[in-house]
Amino acid sequence: MRIEEGRHYIFTKVKTIVLPGGEVNLMLTGPDGKKYLLPLERYSNYRLETKTEIECKVDKINCSGKVFLEPEHPYYKEGESYIFTIIGKAAPGNFSGNDHFVEVSDLRGGVFSVPVSLLKDNMLSGNRVKLRIERISKGKILFAPPTISTDLDDLEEGISYSFRVDRIVPGTDYETYYVVVDMNDREHMLNTRYYSHYGLKTGSEFTGRVIKFAHGREKAIEPDNPWYVPGDIIEVTVGSSVQLETGEGFLTEVFDANGFTHRLLLESFPEMTVIRCRVVKLKKGSPVLERVAD
């Protein structure tokens, strides 16, 4: 079987290993029979060492095929609401403007930062607030999505549309976003982290396709890449190649004619300095490549 981004699976603990540099990881076996590593430092309160089976969400599969796992939180679930107590004003956020943060605590003594925009006028120390957990990633709880709707239900999946960048705003999840407008003047969000190298700025117009990144996820906009088209065959120069810690395959760094760096997951060590790859798809601003026979 092949595991999918966004879905939950049961993983079996194999052993604890220490990587070069001192990072402690759990080695897990997935339902696909492959080995995966889970860094323990992020999940110190999860007590993962005491478990033989761990339920994890496949949080992300990057363009090189590396899988990032998110173990089930011992107390909280995404999409559910819980009561927290305000304990004081946190330092200003990482953005200019009025988007500051307040610290809240739970019944177990955990402390979290929450955007002021979620609390309205209810910011007195000691007040109790009900907050919805939007996402849990790398052990970190995010309480809300960006403040602008990303509803794409009226745009058909797989179809390309024209969009215009209206402005750039801070989100409530410590990221910044392009606010893009479709042909019906509805606003959608694009994370600047994935598309800043496209040269997009306020007033820019672009064509993008409506896609789903993974099973069960909401639709998203994938702007057309200025350099790559799915199905293209390109030649890349091999840089470094190292065997994965699990011993299954080699993570290989390659360079293309446009000066971009990519990572490929290869079954064997590449013997050639130049290899041919197919652009399988575009995902969050990057081409997903696979090696093709010479």
pLDDT tens series, the chain, 294 aa: 778 888 899 999 999 998 887 889 999 999 999 999 999 998 988 989 889 999 999 988 876 677 889 999 999 998 899 999 998 775 554 443 445 678 899 988 888 888 777 776 667 888 888 888 888 888 888 886 554 545 566 788 889 999 999 999 876 566 788 999 998 888 888 989 999 999 999 999 999 999 875 544 567 899 999 999 999 999 999 998 888 766 778 888 999 988 888 888 888 888 889 999 999 988 888 888 999 887
Q: Provide the residue type at 8 as one letter.
A: H
What residues does 262 pair with on adjacent strands? 254
Q: Residue 102 CB: number of other CB atoms within 10 A?
A: 22
**Same-domain check for residues 13 and 65:** yes
Nearest to 248 by CA among 70, 66, 31: 66
**Same-domain check for residues 213 and 180:** yes
- b/e map of 34-61 (b: 16 or more CB within 10 Å)? eebbbeeeebeebebeeeeebebbbbbb
Q: Which residues contact 42 (CB under 8 A, 6 or more apart)?
A: 138, 139, 140
Let me know if residue 147 belongs to a domain.
no
Let me know if residue 148 belongs to a domain.
no
Last residue of a domain, one of 90, 114, 132: 132
Let me know if residue 153 belongs to a domain.
no
Let me know if residue 198 belongs to a domain.
yes
**Same-domain check for residues 66 and 85:** no
Sign of CA dihedral 73, 79, 85, 86: positive
Let me know if residue 142 belongs to a domain.
no
What pLDDT shows up at residue 98?
42
Let me know if residue 94 belongs to a domain.
yes
**Same-domain check for residues 60 and 87:** no
Last residue of a domain, one of 223, 245, 273: 223
How are the residues of the chain apportioned to helix, strand and coil, as percentages rounded to the nearest 5?
A: 5, 50, 45
What is the extent of the structural domain holding 32? 8-71
Q: Residue 231 CB: number of other CB atoms within 10 A?
A: 9
**Same-domain check for residues 239 and 261:** yes
CB 241 within 8 A of CB 251: yes
Let me know if residue 280 belongs to a domain.
yes
Tell me, rounded to whole angstroms, the distance of Cα 220 from its chain centroid.
13
d(CA 197, CA 176): 14
Number of domains, the chain: 4
Let me know if residue 89 belongs to a domain.
yes
What pLDDT shows up at residue 218?
67
d(CA 51, CA 88): 36
